[in-house]
Amino acid sequence: MSAKPFKVAAVQIAPVFLNRERTVEKALRYLDEAAAAGAKLVVFPEVLLPGYPDWVWSVPPREDLMDELYGELIENSVEIPGETTRRLCEAARAKGVFIVMGVNERNTEASGGSLYNTLLFINPEGELMGRHRKLIPTGGERLMWGQGDGSTLQVYDTPIGKMSGLICWENYMPLARYAMYAWGTRLHVASTWDRGEVWLASMRHIAKEGQMYVISSCQALHRNDIPDRAGHKKYYPADRQWINAGDSAIVGPDGKIIAGPLHEAEGILYAEIDPKALAGPRWMLDVAGHYARPDVFQLSVIREVKSLIRERVWRDPLAGTESRSNSVRAKPTVAAKPKARKPSRPSKPRAKKK
C-alpha cells in the first residue's frame, strides 16, 4: 500500500436517462475534473450506465410499460468487454487513475437477454482488473437483474491499497462483508441507490468494523432528469422533486464521515486517505485477525462460476458424428476403397473317421 497520503473521489451525478453513450460522456467529464484535482481513485454510483431502473418500485409488472422500459434498458446496457469498457479503460490510462464504475451488464456469455448489476474495477494502466456482479438484487430489482455468483467476489491488491466493492444492500450481508475483511481490504467501495440517515449510519459502522475507508457513491436524480416520455414518471407524487437525494459520503476507519454527505446536488466529494490510520488502531480491533475466533466461527466462500451450460464432446459411433452441447455436425465421409481379396487356398481333405 502507498506509504504517502493520497486523494480519492466519490462522484454523485444523474445519468442521461437510459442513454449509455451520453452518460459515458458525462461521466468522463467528471472523471477529468476529479483527476485534475489529484484523485487517484474515482468512484461512480451503482448502475450509473445507463441508469437505475427505479420504475420497478412503482409500475405494475403486468403492464406493457415494463416491456418497453426493459427493452430500452437492455439496448443501452454494457457488454464486457465492449466499446464502453474500452472507452473507460482508455480514460483511466490517460488520466492515470483507478475507476470503479457501476453498470447494467448484459449476459453476453449466455442468452444476451438478461442483465446483471455490476461494478467494474479499472486500473491506471487501462486494464479491466475485474467485475463484481451483485449477489442479491433487492425486492423489485429482481424483475430487472439476475443473481451474481461467488466467482466475482474479489479484493484487488493495488499500489494504493487493497480495494473491494459491494453494491448497495450487499453491504448489509455480514458474510459478504467479512469475506472482504478477511481478504485484507483497506479501500471499500459501496456504490448504491440508497441514501438517508440509516444508510449513512451503516457506512460508518462498516468503516469502523472493517477498520477501512468506505467510499459510498450514489446518484442524485431530480424529477427533471426523467423525460416526460418515460411512462413511469406519472407514478411519482406531483410534489416529489428529488427522486434520489444522493447523500454520497466518504468515511474514515474510525467511523467518522470525512466528506459529505452531498445532499440534493450533483458534484464530487474528495477525501485524503492516510495509510497510517489503517494500521495503528488495529491493535484494538481487527475482526479478521486477532479479534477473530476461527476455532468457533468459520466462513466458506464458494467462488466457482455457475455456468448455465457445461459442454461435453461426444462421438456417435453409429452415425459417425461429433457433438458439442446440442449442435451436431457430420464428419465428411470418404468412400471406402474395396479391399483386395486374397487368393483362396485349396482346402485339405479331412481324414475319415474309422
Mean pLDDT across the chain: 91
Give the span between the Cα atoms of 266 and 318, in whole angstroms: 68
- pLDDT given at position 329: 45
What are the extents of the domains in the chain? 6-283
Residue with cell 484523485: 39
304-328 mean pLDDT:
68
- pLDDT given at position 349: 54
% of the chain beyond a pLDDT of 90: 83
pLDDT per residue over 85-142, tens digit each?
A: 999 999 999 999 999 999 999 999 999 999 999 999 999 999 999 999 999 999 999 9
CB burial readout 170-193, b (16+ within 10 A) else e: bbeeeebbbbbbbbebbbbbbbbb
- pLDDT given at position 323: 53
Helix (H) or strand (E) holding 128: strand 128-133
Domain topology for 6-283: Nitrilase/N-carbamoyl-D-aminoacid amidohydrolase (3.60.110)
- pLDDT given at position 250: 98
78, β-bridge pairs = 105
Residue with cell 439496448: 75
341, β-bridge pairs = none
pTM of the model as a whole: 0.87
Give the span between the Cα atoms of 323 and 332, in whole angstroms: 14
% of the chain beyond a pLDDT of 70: 89
Alpha carbon 96 to chain centroid, angstroms: 22
pLDDT per residue over 255-278, tens digit each?
A: 999 999 999 999 999 999 999 999
- pLDDT given at position 61: 80
Taking each continuous run of H as one helix and of E as one strand, the counts in the chain are: 5, 17
Sign of CA dihedral 205, 209, 214, 216: negative
Rounded to 5 degrees, what angle do the CA atoms 163, 164, 170 make? 165
Q: At 39, which amino acid appears?
A: A
Give the span between the Cα atoms of 43 and 248, in whole angstroms: 10
Lowest mean pLDDT among 157-161, 211-215, 304-308, 322-326: 322-326
* Cβ proximity of 234 and 228 under 8 Å: no
- pLDDT given at position 352: 53
By annotation, the residues acting in catalysis are: 46, 134, 168
